[in-house]
């Protein structure tokens, strides 16, 4: 991480936690956390330690390798990572002090073989629905609702079970960005 002073860049912090090349990075500005993924099955959630004035890594093991995109939820309490075969939804479990991942496979009846990399992901403002798009020319929307989150949820999508695909549509080409 660099700090800009006038026209100069000064190295302030170096995040070291991956053995493989880093593929994706996303920052949660409200809670000041960074999540990064590598080409292996690991990602790191970086939390700033004010007392030590450095970033400490919390490791998260994913089910699938080759992350394509990563995005924090609007509330910044969970994040989703795309892969070639599905989505990894990660949330922090305070009882265990550990980041848990739940896997959402991409199973689309209209596509018998789905092995296309998912390039992009974006959250709906309700913190429940997540959309993704990829090289198989499809846009999909999934529910990430979990009953444990229901105390804070006031949206319309709380009755859709976790992992349910609520929308799927073919486009005319690869999906590189979704908003």
Q: What is the pLDDT of residues 27-46, one digit of tens each?
A: 999 999 999 998 887 899 99
- What CA–CA distances, in Å, run from 43 to 20, 63, 101, 178? 10, 11, 11, 22
Backbone angles phi, psi at 151, to 5 degrees: -65, -25
Report residue 177 as tokens.
Answer: 């960005």
Q: Which residues, in sequence order, are bridge partners of residue 28?
A: 33
d(CA 29, CA 35): 11
For the domain with range 16-170, which CATH number is right: 3.10.580.10, 2.60.40.60, 2.130.10.10, 2.40.128.50? 2.130.10.10
Q: Evaluate whether 68 touches 83 at the Cβ level (below 8 Å).
A: yes
- Check if the beta carbon of residue 36 is closer than 8 Å to that of residue 57: no
pLDDT confidence tier of residue 25, bands split at 50, 70 and 90? very high
Instruction: Give the three-state DSSP class for 149.
Output: helix
Beta bridge partners of residue 98, listed in sequence order: 93
Structure confidence by residue, pLDDT tens digits, 90-119: 999 888 888 998 999 887 655 555 557 888
């Amino acid at each position: 991480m660099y700090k800009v002073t006038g026209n100069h860049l000064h190295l302030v912090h170096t995040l070291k936690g991956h053995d493989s090349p880093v593929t994706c990075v996303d920052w949660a500005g409200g809670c000041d956390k960074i999540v990064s993924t590598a080409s292996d099955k690991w990602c790191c959630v970086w939390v700033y330690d004010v007392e030590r004035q450095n970033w400490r890594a919390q490791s998260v093991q994913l089910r699938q390798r080759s992350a394509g995109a990563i995005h924090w939820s609007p509330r910044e309490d969970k994040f989703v990572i795309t892969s070639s075969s599905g989505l990894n939804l990660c949330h922090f479990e305070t009882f265990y002090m550990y980041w848990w991942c739940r896997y959402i496979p991409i199973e689309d009846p209209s596509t018998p073989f789905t092995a296309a990399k998912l390039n992009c992901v974006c959250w709906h403002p309700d913190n429940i629905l997540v959309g993704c798009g990829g090289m198989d020319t499809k846009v999909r929307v999934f529910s990430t609702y979990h009953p444990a989150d229901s105390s804070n949820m006031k949206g319309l999508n709380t009755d859709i079970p976790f992992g349910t695909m609520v929308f799927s549509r073919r486009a005319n080409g690869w999906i590189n960005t979704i908003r």
